[in-house]
Structure 1
Amino acid sequence: MMLTFRFQWVLLAWTAFLAVASGRLPQSDRVRRTHPPVEARHEAPEAPVEDRSEKFRFLTAETKPYQVTSLPEVPFDIGELYSGLVPIDSKNKSNALFFVFQPTIGPPVDTLTIWLNGGPGCSSLEGFFQENGRFLWQPGQYAPAINDYAWVNLTNMLWVEQPIGTGFSIGEVTATGEEEIAQQFVGFFKNFEELFGIKHFKIYVTGESYAGRYVPYISAAMVDEKDTTYFDLAGVLVYDPCIGAYDYSQQELVTLPLVQRNAPIFGLNDSFISQLEALDASCGYADYRNKYLTFPPPGIQPDGYFSYETEASCDVWDLTFYAALAINPCFNIYHIVDTCPLLPDVLGFPGSLMYTTPGLGIYFERADVKKAMHAPTDVTWTECSNGLVIIGAYGPDDDFQNDTSLDPIQYVLPKVIEHTNRVLVANGDWDMIIITEGTLLSIQNMTWNGALGFQTEPSTPIVITEPDLQYEVLFDENELNGVDDIQGTMGIQHYERGLMWAETYQSGHMEPEYQPRISYRHLEWLLGYVDEL
Structure 2
Amino acid sequence: MFLQFRQVLVSLALATLTLTLQANGFAARIDTTPGLKGKRYFIEEDGIKRTVFEHEDTGATIDFVTNSGICETTPGVNQYSGYISVGKNMSMWFWFFEARHEPETAPFALWLNGGPGCSSMLGLFEENGPCKFSNNESTPSLNPYSYNEYANMLYVDQPIGTGFSYGDDTVNSTVTAAPYVWKLLQVFFANFPQYECRDFGLFTESYGGHYGPEFADYFQSQNAAICDGHLEAEKIDLVALGINNGWYDASIQEKEYINFSRYNSYYPLINESTYTAYLNACETQCLPALQNCTSTTGQLTECNAAQTACDIVDTAYGNYYPSFNAYDIRQPGTGPSFPPDTYVAYLHDPAVMKAIGARSTYTECPEAPSVNFWLTADSSRSFEATLSSVVQSGITTVMFAGDADSVCDWFGGLACANAVSYPGAPAFRNKEVANYTVNGEVKGTFKSVGKLSWLRVFDSGHEVPAFQPELALQVFKQTMQKKGLFST
Which of 453, 459, 466 is matched with 1:513 structurally? Answer: 466
Alpha-carbon distance between aligned partners in 2 of 1:139 and 1:259, rounded to the nearest angstrom:
34
Alpha-carbon distance between aligned partners in 2 of 1:419 and 1:307, rounded to the nearest angstrom:
31
Alpha-carbon distance between aligned partners in 1 of 2:428 and 2:353, rounded to the nearest angstrom:
47
- Give the aligned partner of residue 27 of structure 2: none
State the Cα deviation string for residues 470-490 of structure 1 (Å, max 9, x = none): xxxxxxxxxxxxxxxx5x111
More helix by share: 2
The answer to whether the 8 Å contact 2:258/2:279 transfers is: no
- Give the aligned partner of residue 457 of structure 2: 504
State the Cα deviation string for residues 52-75 of structure 1 (Å, max 9, x = none): xxxxxxx99969952133239x88
Alpha-carbon distance between aligned partners in 2 of 1:201 and 1:163, rounded to the nearest angstrom:
25
Count of residue pairs brought into register by the alignment: 405
1:242 matches 2:247: yes
Which of 100, 108, 113 is matched with 2:95 structurally? Answer: 100
In the TM superposition, what are the counterparts of 1:248-287 in structure 2 within 5 Å?
A: 249-264=252-267, 273-279=271-277, 282-283=280-281
In the TM superposition, what are the counterparts of 1:38-53 in structure 2 within 5 Å?
A: none
Q: CA deviation at 1:391?
A: 3.2
The answer to whether the 8 Å contact 1:129/1:138 transfers is: no
Which of 442, 448, 455 is matched with 1:489 structurally? Answer: 442
The answer to whether the 8 Å contact 1:251/1:433 transfers is: no
| Gapped regions of structure 1 (runs ≥ 5) | 1-58, 290-300, 350-360, 466-485
Q: CA deviation at 1:518?
A: 1.3
**One-letter identity of the residue aligned with 1:164:** I
Alpha-carbon distance between aligned partners in 2 of 1:221 and 1:312, rounded to the nearest angstrom:
29
In the TM superposition, what are the counterparts of 1:295-314 in structure 2 within 5 Å?
A: none
The answer to whether the 8 Å contact 1:134/1:147 transfers is: yes
Q: CA deviation at 1:369?
A: 1.3
**One-letter identity of the residue aligned with 1:274:** E
State the Cα deviation string for residues 120-156 of structure 1 (Å, max 9, x = none): 1100011111110111126845542221111111110
Percent identity between the two aligned chains? 21
Distance 1:464 1:279, change over 3 A: same
Distance 1:189 1:390, change over 3 A: farther
State the Cα deviation string for residues 251-305 of structure 1 (Å, max 9, x = none): 44332334323454x5x6xxx513234325644769x99xxxxxxxxxxx95688
- Give the aligned partner of residue 447 of structure 1: 421
Q: CA deviation at 1:243?
A: 1.0
**One-letter identity of the residue aligned with 1:493:** F
Alpha-carbon distance between aligned partners in 2 of 1:232 and 1:121, rounded to the nearest angstrom:
26
Distance 1:277 1:147, change over 3 A: same
- Give the aligned partner of residue 130 of structure 2: 134
Q: CA deviation at 1:450?
A: 7.5
- Give the aligned partner of residue 410 of structure 2: 436
Alpha-carbon distance between aligned partners in 1 of 2:351 and 2:282, rounded to the nearest angstrom:
55
Which of 371, 375, 383 is matched with 2:358 structurally? Answer: 375
Q: Say which SS state the counterpart of residue 168 (structure 1) adopts.
A: coil
The answer to whether the 8 Å contact 2:163/2:365 transfers is: yes
Q: Say which SS state the counterpart of residue 320 (structure 2) adopts.
A: helix
**One-letter identity of the residue aligned with 2:190:** E
Q: CA deviation at 1:95?
A: 1.7
Alpha-carbon distance between aligned partners in 2 of 1:498 and 1:274, rounded to the nearest angstrom:
39
Q: CA deviation at 1:390?
A: 6.6
- Give the aligned partner of residue 115 of structure 2: 119
State the Cα deviation string for residues 160-184 of structure 1 (Å, max 9, x = none): 0011121111231112322221111
Q: CA deviation at 1:195?
A: 0.9
Distance 1:492 1:172, change over 3 A: same
Q: Identify the structure with bigger relative contact order (alpha carbons < 8 Å, sequence gap 6+).
A: 1
In the TM superposition, what are the counterparts of 1:444-483 in structure 2 within 5 Å?
A: 444-449=418-423, 451=425, 454-465=428-439
Alpha-carbon distance between aligned partners in 1 of 2:347 and 2:127, rounded to the nearest angstrom:
16
The answer to whether the 8 Å contact 2:424/2:449 transfers is: no
Distance 1:323 1:166, change over 3 A: same
Alpha-carbon distance between aligned partners in 2 of 1:440 and 1:81, rounded to the nearest angstrom:
37
TM-score (norm 2): 0.73
Q: Say which SS state the counterpart of residue 215 (structure 1) adopts.
A: helix
Q: Say which SS state the counterpart of residue 453 (structure 2) adopts.
A: strand
Q: CA deviation at 1:446?
A: 3.3
- Give the aligned partner of residue 472 of structure 1: none
Alpha-carbon distance between aligned partners in 1 of 2:340 and 2:310, rounded to the nearest angstrom:
38
Alpha-carbon distance between aligned partners in 2 of 1:157 and 1:434, rounded to the nearest angstrom:
25
- Give the aligned partner of residue 201 of structure 1: 198
Moved more, 508-517 or 448-457: 448-457
- Give the aligned partner of residue 167 of structure 2: 171
**One-letter identity of the residue aligned with 2:330:** V
The answer to whether the 8 Å contact 1:445/1:453 transfers is: no
Alpha-carbon distance between aligned partners in 1 of 2:340 and 2:353, rounded to the nearest angstrom:
14
**One-letter identity of the residue aligned with 1:386:** E
Alpha-carbon distance between aligned partners in 2 of 1:520 and 1:164, rounded to the nearest angstrom:
29
- Give the aligned partner of residue 19 of structure 1: none
Alpha-carbon distance between aligned partners in 1 of 2:448 and 2:337, rounded to the nearest angstrom:
38
Moved more, 442-451 or 210-219: 442-451
More strand by share: 2
The answer to whether the 8 Å contact 2:173/2:378 transfers is: no
- Give the aligned partner of residue 332 of structure 1: 325
State the Cα deviation string for residues 170-211 of structure 1 (Å, max 9, x = none): 231112322221111111111011111132111110110012
**One-letter identity of the residue aligned with 1:337:** R
1:365 matches 2:348: yes
In the TM superposition, what are the counterparts of 1:147-166 in structure 2 within 5 Å?
A: 147-166=143-162
The answer to whether the 8 Å contact 1:494/1:500 transfers is: yes
Q: CA deviation at 1:527?
A: 1.5
Distance 1:394 1:440, change over 3 A: same
1:68 matches 2:61: no
Q: CA deviation at 1:338?
A: 1.4
Alpha-carbon distance between aligned partners in 1 of 2:261 and 2:347, rounded to the nearest angstrom:
35
The answer to whether the 8 Å contact 1:97/1:162 transfers is: yes
The answer to whether the 8 Å contact 2:453/2:484 transfers is: no
The answer to whether the 8 Å contact 1:253/1:285 transfers is: no
Q: Say which SS state the counterpart of residue 323 (structure 1) adopts.
A: coil
Which of 348, 358, 383 is matched with 1:408 structurally? Answer: 383
Distance 1:344 1:362, change over 3 A: farther
The answer to whether the 8 Å contact 1:69/1:78 transfers is: no
The answer to whether the 8 Å contact 1:163/1:389 transfers is: no
- Give the aligned partner of residue 221 of structure 1: 218
Distance 1:170 1:443, change over 3 A: same
Which of 298, 317, 342 is matched with 2:336 structurally? Answer: 342
TM-score (norm 1): 0.68
Distance 1:224 1:366, change over 3 A: same
Alpha-carbon distance between aligned partners in 1 of 2:220 and 2:444, rounded to the nearest angstrom:
31
Distance 1:263 1:455, change over 3 A: closer
Distance 1:392 1:65, change over 3 A: closer
The answer to whether the 8 Å contact 2:452/2:484 transfers is: no
Alpha-carbon distance between aligned partners in 2 of 1:97 and 1:417, rounded to the nearest angstrom:
29
The answer to whether the 8 Å contact 1:244/1:409 transfers is: yes
**One-letter identity of the residue aligned with 1:217:** E
- Give the aligned partner of residue 479 of structure 1: none
**One-letter identity of the residue aligned with 2:384:** I
Q: Say which SS state the counterpart of residue 190 (structure 2) adopts.
A: helix
